[in-house]
Structure formats: structure tokens, C-alpha cells
Structure 1
Amino acid sequence: MKILIAEDDLLMLKTLEYRLKKDGHEVIVSRDGMEALEKIEEASPDLIITDIMMPYSSGLEIAGAVRQKSSTPIIILSGMGQENVVLEAFKLGVDDYITKPFSPNELIVRVRRFMFANAVR
């Protein structure tokens, strides 16, 4: 599966990239929201994983823009676990929300769920 990760924390980005590649996925990385939107348009990923708090465009803005054009699954990663933020993300159409800190193994299980769903379609 082709996965785009938008994350401005370099250590988190590299960790996720390594773990997803190890699981056999093609990974595209972005360190800010504007770049993420450009890469989404260019690469048409099968899944988008994005942090909320990023330079130039937030993960919520990315989710809103993507939902206007496609149904590509979106997983939000965020240190913000407040109910209003989580609910806003789901109202925008995200498919999953993971609060930091989290286990990379948990993320892999959630990614595989979307991979299976895509295979069934």
C-alpha cells in the first residue's frame, strides 16, 4: 500500500517511515501541510497519516481538502486528545484518530485494517 505520512517531528516521521516500510509499504513523507497536499495530489496515496499540528496547513485542513476530492482513508496522529478536537476531526471525515504517545505496533494494526478493507473492495 502507498502511504503518505505528514509529520513535522523528524524523529516521529523517521520512526513511522521505518516501521511502515518494514511492514512492506511504499512510504511518502512530508514535514509540513502544504507539501503534504502537493504530494497527495501527485502520488494519490492509498492511505494518509497526518499529525494535526504542522506548519503551513494543519492535519485538519489536510483532511478537509482531501475529503472534498476523495475518500482516501485518513488517520490523524495527535497529542491533542480533547474531545472537541477528536470530534472535529471525525466531522471532517477522518477514518481514525490516534492520540500520542502510541505504539508503532498499534498503528501497524490499524493500517492493516485499511489495507484489508481496500483488498475487499
Structure 2
Amino acid sequence: MNSDKKILIIEDDELMIKILTFILNKEGYQLSVIRDGLSAIEQLHTINPDMVITDLLLPYKSGLEVISFVKSNYKNKAIIALSALGEEEHSVSEAFKLGADDFIAKPFNPNELVLRVKRLLNY
């Protein structure tokens, strides 16, 4: 199992949080969930995740601001950006420019999420 790998989920949609935690718990990851970008930035050092999965549209600080902060301060952390289909396409390219490692459009296939997480965590 993957019990030594920690993932921080930054998402404000309760249903999406339930879906992500269900899928990733099943895979054995240690999960932390934060519902806004500002709290995520403030708590990143304490949580010290191996990976960050962040929505792009978040309260207080955007997912783009979170990605920028993570890549400026923790270069080795993997980041997957999430966004609903049709939401600001320039945000997706901006996420990659800021250092996101991958992007998944919502709604997504659970198996695809697991494969992408495993690929970025190198196993």
C-alpha cells in the first residue's frame, strides 16, 4: 500500500472532497483536506505532503496562487490541478506555467486519477 505517501487535497466542493477521499483512501494514501487556498498555504509546512491536488477555483487564494507558492517554496512536491471542463482554459495553461505537474478535468475517471497520482509519486 501507499501509507507512507501524504496527499493534501485542496477543494471546496463537498461532493468532490468525498469522491477524492474515497478513491485515494482506498489506495492507502494519508490524506489531509483543506477547503480554501489561504489555509492550505498557511498549513503546508505542517502537513508536509508528498503531493498537492488542488482545485483552481478556491476561496481566499486561488489554486494558481497555491501552485505558485508550493513551487516557489517546495520544488519537489508533485501538484495535480483540478478544474471543471469549460472553466477558464487560460487557467490550465497558467497552472502548468506555474509548475503544476498534471491537470485533470472534472468530472474525471477514478482509475485515471489513481494512475496519474502513482505516476507522479514514482511507482
Note if 1:64 corresponds to 2:68: yes
Q: What residue ranges of structure 2 are gaps of 5+ in the alignment?
A: none
- Aligned counterpart in structure 1 of residue 79 of structure 2, from 74, 79, 100: 74
Q: 2:59 aligns to what?
A: 55
- The TM-score with structure 1 as length reference comes to 0.90
Q: C-alpha distance in 2, partners of 1:4/1:21? A: 12
1:7 and 1:50 in contact (8 A); partners too: yes
Cα-to-partner distance string for 1:74-94 (whole Å, 9 max, x where unaligned) = 100001455422211111011
Name whichever structure is richer in helix by fraction.
1
> CA offset at residue 53 of structure 1?
0.4
- Matching residue within 99, 105, 114 for 1:93: 99
User: C-alpha distance in 1, partners of 2:100/2:30?
Assistant: 21
Matching residue of 2:108: 102
Instruction: Select between 101-110 and 81-90 the one with higher mean Cα deviation.
Output: 81-90
Alignment-derived partner of residue 31 in structure 1: 35
CA deviation profile, 1:20-72 (whole Å, cap 9, x unmatched): 01101000001111111122121110000000001001100000111111121
TM-score by length of 2: 0.89
Task: Kindly tell me the number of residue pairs found equivalent between the two proteins.
Answer: 117
